[in-house]
A = this chain, B = another copy of it.
Amino acid sequence: MMGMNYCSECGKSVEVSIPEGDNRPRHVCSTCGAIHYQNPKVVVGCIPVWEQQVLLCRRAIEPRYGYWTLPAGFMENGETSQQGAARETLEEACARVDVEGLYTLFNLPHISQIYLLYRSRLLDIDFDAGEESLEVALFHEHEIPWDEIAFPVIQESLRLYFADRNRGVFPLRSGTIERLPGEARRFRILLDDDPA
């Protein structure tokens, strides 16, 4: 989280206090009274599919440099979630997709993010590594580098995708991923009830 020391409206100091009519601490300007809310960010991305293969990108940036992930990133103002998912796929994998249904929605409350991943169909295989990727490749299910996936939300979405593909149905999958206390990267995945 970025530091919040000064008011972005008037440039004077902010303090942390509970505004009148509110019930939680906010960054409030002690000069002009502006309240600076901080809210979760939406990450949008694709599960790009070509025949039986899924496209993954190997990250050229931190965190998790060198690990594989699905094309995804922060949703921008003024776009829809599908437009954002397609944009990230173009930026990170130079790949054009037809965005289909929403497939997974995961809450990551420990970092105040919400992930929306869409099933999508690659329109061609003229993909290439974008600036934030070391390489981009297609993988059959048995080729997925499970131990080198960047984030648990990506690993779990891929796991669900292949299981549902084998069943032939793609209900919305949703849940929460919690980071467990301690130095090690350990997580707990809580899936919401299967809607099927």
Which residues of A does B touch, CB under 8 Å?
2-14, 21, 23-24, 34, 36-42, 74-83, 91, 101-102, 105, 107, 109-110, 112, 114, 116, 131, 172, 174, 176, 192-193, 195
Contact = CB atoms under 8 A, between A and B. Distances in A.
Given A7-B8, A8-B36, A109-B80, A114 B42 contact: yes
Contact of A9 (B2, B10, B116, B176): B2
B42 A195 contact: no
A131 B21 contact: yes
Identical copies in the complex: 2
Interface of A is mostly: loop
A80 to B, nearest CB: 4
Nearest to A11: B6
A80 B176 contact: yes
Contacts of A14: 8
Tell which of A2, A8, A14, A193 has the most Cβ of chain B within 10 Å: A8
B80 A107 contact: yes
